Structure formats: structure tokens, C-alpha cells
Amino acid sequence: MENYDNLIHKANILTEALPYIQRLAGKTVVIKYGGNAMTDEKLITTILQDIALLKCVGVNPVVVHGGGPEINRLLGKLEIESKFHNGLRITDGATMEVVQMVLTGKINKDITAQLNCLGVKAIGLCGKDANLIEVVKKPASDGVDLGYVGQITGINQKLLHMLTQDEFIPVIAPVGVGPDGESYNINADTAAAEIAAALQAEKLIFLTDIDGIRLDPQDPESLISVITVERINELIADGTISGGMIPKVQGCIRSIELGVNRTHILNGTIPHPVLLEIFTDKGIGTMVVRA
């Protein structure tokens, strides 16, 4: 029989979570899931359990996923070079075919199926379904043509509201649709931010492979628990925040400016990161606030 003290500890955890569950009931939480958090089967299971639990306690989760490591692997097998500029993938025609194949054909359906196995009803989508994510070609950045990279012009929020207010968890692959029906690659962080803003989500959560925003990227002890939009801009300007972290923090800023209450950057390579951040008093990552 399980130790009595362990049972009491579990009960205390549940009571600590209660006010947070009550506060989030009926609210939308957008979760961007990708990177190294998608490469370990045990971690995948705990993250998807977190998402399923949110739905079961009355929260409305929306999942936006990436898939960079798997895209890179397939590009490597096909001997297509991976190129990036300011944290964004330069996407020519051949690369776009691989991106769409991996994101919409494999990863999206794998996540959807695993969530369904946990007893919830997930539905896999990409931006081309019902014009969910409408885009135009993103302008050149510093003179660099990014190819088939999309700049979001519209989100079909009616579809997402309909699904989330019912019993479904939308699982969204960041492939957008252009004016002529062509496919465009969208940075998953950017897509998550725009979707959270369109839905006026209570929270936007980025699962990444570091603990959050650090004053010294190499020092885990320099983690910032709470940071303002103004301070983020200062850290971008002085180079503390750089590379692939820039789209994440820009997504945090944009979503907050458009009405999302809180955004979080969490380490998705530890078990149950979503529950630890939003259902406990202390939290584990960086929370971005207006002021």
C-alpha cells in the first residue's frame, strides 16, 4: 500500500492547483509545442497528458506545433541544405514540399492520434484547412529573400472558437495558405502568437529547450522569472536575446499587445512543464507581462 505521507502530498498538490483551475476554467490557452521537446517519447507523453488534463478540467487548449528537427533530418536525407536567417528557415520550393510533408502529413497526425488515445478529442489542422491561416509572402529581411515564408494576414477564429467551445482540441501545423492557394512555411512561434491574439487567449505558452529567458544564456541561474515587454526589447537591442529566441519573444510581445493576458516560455524537456507552470504557486519558466 502506498505510503500515507505520499498520499497527503498528492492531495496537497491538488489543492494547490484548485484556484488556478478555477481561474482558467472556460478560458483558452494556446500552447506552442516543438523542437527538442518532440524528440523524446517519454517527454512527449507527459506534455500531451498535460494538454489532455487541461481539457478535462474545463480549460480550452489549442496546440500549435513545429517540427524543425524532423524537417532537418528529412532535408539531410534528400541532400537539401537547411538555411536560416534571423531564426527563420529560408524556404525554396523543394524545401516547402518537405516542410508540408513533415508538418501536416506526419507530426500533426501523430500528435492528434496520441491525444485521442488519452481520452480527449483532438482534430488535426493546418493553415490551408478552411483558410485557417491566410498569408502573403514575407518581405525580404535585410535583403535576404526568405522564399516561401508566409506573413500572416488572417486567422479563421470562427472555426477555432467552434471547435474549442465544443469538445475538441485543435492541433495546428504552421503551414499557411497564400492568395492563390499556394503553401507557405510559417514560423511556429509566430503562428502561435497570432492565433492566441485572434482568440484573445488567457495564456500563450512556448515550450522550448531552455528554461526561459536568461540574462546570461550560458548560466541557468540567471533565469528571469517575470519580465516586461520593455525589458525584452532592451535585451534584444543589447544582443542578450538572439537567434531562434527572437521569434519567441517577439511572439510574446505581439500577443500581449493584441490582448493576450500572459505569455510563458518554458523548458519542454522536463516532465509535465505545462502543469508545473500554470497550476503551481512557483512556476518553472519565464512569464512575460505588459508592465
Summarize the annotated binding site for substrate as residue ranges: 67-68, 89, 185
Q: Is the pLDDT of residue 1 over 60?
A: no
State residue 285's pLDDT score: 87
- Banded model confidence at residue 198, pLDDT cuts 50, 70, 90: very high
In this structure, how many other beta carbons lie within 10 angstroms of the beta carbon of residue 204?
31
Tell me if the pTM is above 0.95: no
State residue 2's pLDDT score: 59
State residue 290's pLDDT score: 85
Level-2 CATH architecture, domain 26-289: 3-Layer(aba) Sandwich (3.40)
What are the residue ranges spanned by the domains of the chain? Answer: 26-289
pLDDT digits (tens, 9 = 90+) for 43-102: 889 999 999 999 999 999 999 999 888 999 999 999 999 898 877 899 999 999 999 999
pLDDT digits (tens, 9 = 90+) for 231-261: 999 999 988 888 778 878 888 888 898 889 8
Are 175 and 185 in contact by the 8 Å Cβ rule? The answer is yes
Torsion of CA 117, 122, 124, 128, to 10 degrees: 180
- Banded model confidence at residue 5, pLDDT cuts 50, 70, 90: confident
Summarize the annotated binding site as residue ranges: 67-68, 89, 185
Q: Does residue 110 come out as left (phi exceeding 0), alpha (psi in the -120 to 50 range) or beta?
A: alpha
CA atoms within 13 A on the CB side of 126: 25
